[in-house]
Amino acid sequence: MINVIIADHQAIFRAGIAKVLAVEEDMRIVGQPQSPEQLLNSLHKLRSHVLILSTSFLPSLPEIQEIAAEHRIAVLILAENAERASDFMRMGVQGVIYRSACGNVAVEAVRRLSRGQSFLQSPNPADSDVSEDLVGARVRDRLTDRELRITAAVVQGYKNREIALQLYTSEQMIKNALRNIFDKIGVSDRLELALFVVHHRILAQATASVAVVPARPRLSQSPGERRPVPSESSSIH
């Protein structure tokens, strides 16, 4: 059994990756830390073989690598894009995949690292079966630009109010848009939506291209700024 720790600051992304890996008979998710402190504690206490690590943890990477090496845990970086992939490998990590990677790439990477091998995902779409992702392409083309931005924000872990502030609209409009997105894609909630995006590279790349910056949107109002209309409804969370 391959024991995996998933360290990422976005809960919905952690859950999506966990679902992708947990269906494999030879893999088990043993921890999902969301902060460097939780991660260091997990590395010491949990018997794991592979650590999937978000780039948000990079400031703590030297300490993480030291502890991981001590416990013979391979480190797989979740990179935002291909620009620094080779740099991460030179830092001593055993593997790099991209946040837009489809599920089978993540599974293959984890298996290789568990066998003591390295894994560097190819940045060439032709080598990653992008051209064969007909479902992802069809869904991408069905979504409007606004729906694509909302999907990207959901995958990033933003709540309805935060998305509304980003798009200068109301929470209710975001909830209505989410219903349309769920219907178009055939999912029932935010987690299934994130999991679908993870599975379909073309859609993942499309959402990554319109994703908002990692910083949380401010809740204060500047002079002349439109304030979204508040909503009491919370049928979609």
The domain ranges of the chain are 2-128, 134-210
CA quadruple 172, 177, 181, 186: dihedral sign: positive
Tokens of residue 129, six digits:
């079966």
Closest to 7 in 3D by CA, of 27, 92, 43, 120: 43
- Judged against a pLDDT cut of 70, whether residue 131 lies above it is answered with no
Q: How far apart are CA 80 and CA 99, in angstroms?
A: 6
- Percentage of residues in the chain having pLDDT higher than 70: 84
CATH number of 134-210: 1.10.10.10
pLDDT tens-digit series, residues 182-226: 998 888 888 888 888 877 778 888 888 887 654 444 444 444 444
- Judged against a pLDDT cut of 80, whether residue 165 lies above it is answered with yes
Closest to 152 in 3D by CA, of 191, 197, 199: 197
Q: What is the pTM of this model?
A: 0.62
In this prediction, residue 225 carries a pLDDT of 43
- Judged against a pLDDT cut of 90, whether residue 7 lies above it is answered with yes
Q: The domain 2-128 is classified under which CATH number: 3.90.1150.10, 3.40.50.2300, 3.40.47.10, 3.40.630.30?
A: 3.40.50.2300
Domains 2-128 and 134-210 share a fold: no
Residue 17 region by backbone torsions, left for phi larger than 0, else alpha for psi between -120 and 50, else beta = alpha
In this prediction, residue 1 carries a pLDDT of 93
pLDDT tens-digit series, residues 120-129: 988 754 444 4
Q: Average pLDDT of 168-175?
A: 94
